[in-house]
């Protein structure tokens, strides 16, 4: 039976505030990561993030040879080459219909 090793919060800085004349950071917890020990004695991690669109679960895999891809994926999906970021285009959003505010 697997055993819980630890749970950790995932937090981000969302701003700053003043307290006693010093600037402090304001944090928000956006998820958690869980470390477990399996029956074979090995450790593994998983977690979830919480956002405006619901909960997203994830697994953590060790990096091999400086690659961030998970080990062999199952389910019939082919491994894809890493996405190359394209240079940013100067795109202007067309004006919306008259009388409707933009979002």
**For the chain, what are the domain ranges?**
3-60
* pLDDT per residue as tens digits for the range 41-78: 999 999 999 999 999 999 999 888 766 555 555 544 44
d(CA 61, CA 26): 30
> What percentage of residues in the chain have a pLDDT greater than 90?
57
Q: What is the pLDDT of residue 63?
A: 85
* pTM of the complete model beyond 0.85: no
- Average pLDDT value over all residues in the chain: 78
Cα–Cα distance, 13 to 42 (Å, whole number): 33
User: Looking at residue 66, what DSSP letter applies?
Assistant: T
């Amino acid at each position: 039976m697997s055993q819980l090793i630890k749970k950790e919060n995932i937090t981000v800085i969302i701003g700053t505030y003043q307290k006693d004349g010093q600037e402090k950071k304001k944090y928000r917890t956006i998820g958690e990561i869980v470390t477990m020990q399996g029956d074979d004695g090995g450790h593994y991690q998983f977690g979830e993030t919480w956002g405006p669109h619901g909960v997203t679960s994830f697994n953590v895999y060790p990096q091999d040879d400086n690659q961030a891809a998970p080990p062999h994926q199952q389910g019939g999906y082919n491994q894809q080459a890493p996405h190359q970021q394209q240079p940013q285009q100067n795109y202007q959003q067309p004006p919306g219909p008259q009388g409707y505010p933009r979002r």
